[in-house]
Amino acid sequence: MSVLVSLIRNEFEKTWRSRWIVFAVLFGLFLLIACGVYIYYVASQHRWTPPAPVAWQAQLQDQIKANQREITNLEQIKEQAPGGTVRIGGRGGPDLNIDQAIAQSKQAITDDQYLIDNNIAPVQSFPVAQAALFALGGIVMFLLTRIFGWLASEQIAGERSDRTLTTLLSRPPSRNQVLLAKGFASFLISLVVVLVTLLIVYAGFSFFLGSPGSLADQAGVALDGSKALGPGNLLQVPVWLFVLMCVGAAMLGVLCVQGMSLLISVVTGRWAAIGITLALLFGAPLVSTVVAGILFLISGSQDSAHFLNYFFFNVLLPVGSVAPSFGNATAAPGSGVNEFTAELETLAVWTFAFFLAAWLLFRRKQEAG
Amino acid sequence: MPAVVEVARLTKNFGRLRALNEVSFGVEKGEVLGFLGPNGAGKTTTIRILLGLLHPDGGTAKINGHDCWTDHARAADFFGATLEQPGFYGFLSGRDNLRQFARMLGPVDEKQITALLDTVGMTERADDKVKRYSMGMRQRLALAQALLGKPSLLVLDEPTNGLDPNGIHGLRILLRKLATEQGLTIFFSSHLLSEVEELCDRVVVLHRGEVKASGPLSDIMNVKGFRYRIDVSDVDKALAVVRTVDGAHADPGTLKDSITVASDTDIARQVNYALVSAGIGVDQLVREEKGLEDVYIQLTGVAAGSPLSSPPPPPAPAA
């Protein structure tokens, strides 16, 4: 056990001393973006200080009022042109007859009232939840997973290229311990970076929403993102648990990428490992988008490419699948907590397979030099 | 004396190339064994098997009774090793590199690290980054790395590679000292004969993956036969004349106006008489001791043909 701790410490030292510039650049980038966003805020809002916070109940009340106005409008239209249809949601939305549209708006009012009466805030009401969805499901993780993949791909391959791997493996710790230490160290480093990123983004959201918000309140998340949030389509969790869920899912995505990178690292040298890893991490989503496009052209159905979500490269960011579904507005099909869970299961299988393969290869890998 | 290293019928193939063919030898406690052979003989392959980096296709390699592949962790407890072209973390200092490897063996003993850096003469540059080290400095650091954790066996792959003459001399003295004062068993490979000649109790000569000779240096050096260098006035005539003498094998010598004569028996007088009788001037007739170099060339056949003859094609692996 103490050997493993020493090995992990060695990995920390190596990663930090050889690649500190990556972390420095990343931090500088975040700082730069934060400054830019703040300057934009100051210029557009004509103020230096955070805005006054808006209670989520007030937001839902506004939404109820908007729906009531909508119903009044629709009833006027119905009197003028009975039997007509309206298109909800602009181009591409479904054509509904007026009665259906009125029913939908009434349902939205009922749903919103249900949330207010039961003190369940839509999850996007919390700055911390917004930060989790943006930082862990959005562009930041999109960037971070690639960096973590790159760093993990160097773990063994880089040492092979530097000819330090032979010294490492000739020493008493077993290959299993060496691999475990490398995997563990990579994971811990990425966990720290992800948490720091989350905190920075949370600080930003707290500022722009005027308050850090509560961590203990109940949040409502849609099970099926394509339907409105309300009774029957509701996962009710404390907001801290929701954030923890997002962190866990994002870290599983990171672990999956690291498993893949370590597998590549076991059999190659440094530049091949970095090249293949980055090509896969950037190329796979591209290929998947193209395939989805072709399938859509052939079938004409958005759902026909849904199965691609269960290839690992599309579920690297399972948090992303829950992101468009939060709140009480509807999102595209194939999102929501149910989808999130399904993608997590897929991701777990991929992760396990990558690490298993890396372990099987590494324990008998010959270092011929 | 118990054997520290036991290698028995070790066989290793790389694809169609048979790198080792039933190699067997042992290293006894406290001895300095030289592992000799030309480039590509299989020395590094053998050492990599001992270090647990390669697994053999046949035979066994054991250190203190522990199999080097299946029981690597226990076998590795006994040795420290350097490999050809030692690798270090270039972004760390020499001292930090030693700390890295020391940590793999247990709690870091700063005193030992300082002492080792001093032993290998690296104290002054210990806190410089390794990427600024020369090959010789890396070699010294590699030796310090091998000595971490007080091993009872040192396995060194071409340890003098890249060292300057001073460094080579220092290494020799150090290895001798380690062997005599601390009773360290040392197994080291080299293609340089001078090292082996001065340092080793015993040598194993490897060629094309096979052991060609092994034993105490004195035994290997004591190859039967006599050899003479004769400085003559006319090389061509002299060769023709000497070849008529019973049991004499004559070749042009390596020096100008000289020939080399080899024989199983002492024929100095017969050869001299024949040359003088034929009217050839003999300026000098010297009996040459067979050096390790000659034995080496004889065993490995490297000198056959042109001085730097291309290595012969590898034998196909046995079915």
Q: What is the pLDDT along chain B (319 residues), one digit of tens a residue?
A: 568 999 999 999 999 999 999 999 999 999 999 998 888 889 999 999 999 999 999 999 999 999 999 999 999 999 999 998 889 999 999 999 999 999 999 999 999 999 999 999 999 999 999 999 998 899 999 999 999 989 999 999 999 888 888 888 888 889 988 999 989 999 999 877 777 877 888 989 898 899 988 888 777 766 667 888 899 988 999 999 988 888 888 888 878 888 988 888 888 899 999 999 999 999 999 887 666 666 777 777 654 444 444 444 555 555 4
Please report residues of B whose CB lies closer than 8 A to that of A6: 103-104, 106
CB contact residues (below 8 A), chain A span 130-169, against chain B? 159, 162-169
Quick one: pLDDT at residue B309? 46
The helix/strand/coil state of B64 is coil
Strand order of the β-sheet with B226-232 is B249-252, B258-263, B226-232, B282-287
Higher pLDDT, B152 or A292: B152
Q: How far apart are CA A174 and CA B73, in angstroms?
A: 6
What is residue B132's predicted lDDT score, i.e. its pLDDT? 95
Asked if B83 and A166 come within 8 Å (Cβ–Cβ), the reply is yes
pLDDT of B317 reads 57
Residue of B nearest to A366 (CA): B54
Q: To probe the interface with B, which of A8, A14, A171 has the most B CB atoms within 10 Å?
A: A171
**Exposed, middle or buried, B194 (CB in 10 Å: 0-12/13-18/19+)?**
middle
For chain B, the 3-state helix, strand and coil shares in percent, each to the nearest 5, are 35, 30, 40
- Of residues A263 and B166, which shows the higher confidence score? A263
Instruction: Give the rounded percent of residues in chain A with a pLDDT score beyond 90.
Output: 59
Torsions phi, psi of A232, nearest 5? 95, -20
pLDDT of residue B215: 86
A325: confidence class by pLDDT, cuts 50, 70, 90: low
* A18 close to B (CB below 8 A): yes
* Token couple for A282: 């950037």
Contact: B52, A170; criterion CB under 8 Å: yes
- Measure A13 CA to nearest chain B CA, in Å: 9
For A298-318, what is each residue's pLDDT tens digit?
988 777 887 887 776 665 667
Could you give the CA distance from residue A343 to residue A365 in angstroms, rounded to a whole number? 32
Contacts of B217 (CB under 8 A, 6+ apart): B196, B197, B200, B201, B202, B203, B292
d(CA A182, CA A3): 13
CA B29 – CA A16 distance, rounded (Å) = 42
B154: alpha, beta or left? (left if phi > 0; alpha if psi -120 to 50): beta
Give the residue from B104, B139, B147 with the most A CB atoms within 10 Å of its CB, the best one to mutate: B104
pLDDT score, position A3: 92
Query: Which candidate from A163, A172, A366 shows the least CB-CB separation from B104?
Result: A172
Average pLDDT, chain A: 88
**Res B304: pLDDT:** 42
Nearest CA in chain A to B151: A171
| Beta partners for residue B8, in sequence order | B60
How high is the pLDDT of residue B191?
78
Which CA distances in Å does A320 have to A136, A238, A251, B78, B128?
8, 20, 13, 52, 47
Q: What is the pLDDT of residue A307?
A: 82
Does residue B306 or residue A359 have the better pLDDT?
A359
Please report which helix (H) or strand (E) contains residue B271, including its range. Answer: helix B268-277
Of A166, A172, A364, the CB nearest to B76: A172
Q: Do B83 and A163 touch (CB under 8 A)?
A: yes
Q: Which residues have a Cβ under 8 Å from the Cβ of A211 and sit 6 or more positions away? A: A50, A53, A127
Q: How far is CA A16 from CA A166, A188, A198, A274, B127, in A?
A: 21, 12, 21, 18, 18
Would you say residue A86 has pLDDT above 60? Answer: yes
The SS3 of residue A78 is helix
Would an 8 Å CB–CB cutoff place A76 in contact with chain B?
no
Q: Which of B63, B66, B69, B89 to mutate to test the interface with A (most CBs of A within 10 A)?
A: B89
Residue A364: helix, strand or coil by DSSP? coil
Residue B240's contacts (CB-CB under 8 Å, 6 or more residues apart) are none
Smallest CA-to-CA distance from B88 within A16, A191, A18, A299 is with A18
Q: Residue A343 above 90 pLDDT?
A: no
Best CA proximity match to B119, nearest among B92, B97, B79, B148: B148
Contacts A–B by Cβ distance under 8 A:
89
Option in A162, A171, A366 nearest B54 (CB): A366
Burial A333-366 (b: 16+ CB within 10 A, else e): ebbbbbbbbbbbebbeebbeebbeebbeebeebe
Where is mean pLDDT largest: A119-128, A256-265, A326-335? A256-265
Sheet with B79-82, side-by-side order of all strands: B79-82, B153-157, B185-190, B32-36, B202-207, B210-216
Would the CB atoms of A166 and B91 count as touching at under 8 Å? no
Core vs surface per residue B209-231: b (16+ CB within 10 A) or e: bbbbbbeebeebbeeeebbbbbb
The DSSP symbol for B121 reads T
Alpha helices per DSSP H over chain A: 2-45, 56-80, 98-117, 127-137, 139-162, 165-170, 175-208, 239-267, 270-299, 318-322, 337-363
Decide if B143 contacts B82 (C-beta within 8 A).
yes
Q: Do B52 and A169 touch (CB under 8 A)?
A: yes
All residues of chain B having their beta carbon less than 8 Å from the beta carbon of residue A364 are 55
| Element housing B231 (H / E) | strand B226-232
Nearest to B20 by CA among B210, B289, B249: B210
pLDDT at B307: 46
* Contact call for residues B2 and B171 (beta carbons, < 8 A): no
In Å, how far are A156, A158, A171, B84, B152 from A164, measured between CA atoms? Answer: 9, 9, 11, 12, 22
Q: Could you tell me which of A114, A89, A151 has the C-alpha nearest to residue A232?
A: A114
CA A298/CA B95 separation, integer angstroms: 64
pLDDT tens-digit readout, A17-64: 999 999 999 999 999 999 999 999 999 999 999 999 989 999 899 989
Tell me the two tokens of residue A36: 């830019």
What's the pTM value of the predicted model, to 2 decimals?
Answer: 0.85
From B74, B89, B105, residue closest to A164, measured CB to CB: B89
Say whether A170 and B84 touch across the interface (CB within 8 A): no
Q: Cα distance from B276 to chain A (closest Cα, Å)?
A: 59
CB B174 within 8 A of CB B184: no
Tell me which residue in A159, A173, A367 faces B53 most closely, judged by beta carbons.
Answer: A367
Q: Do A167 and B55 touch (CB under 8 A)?
A: no
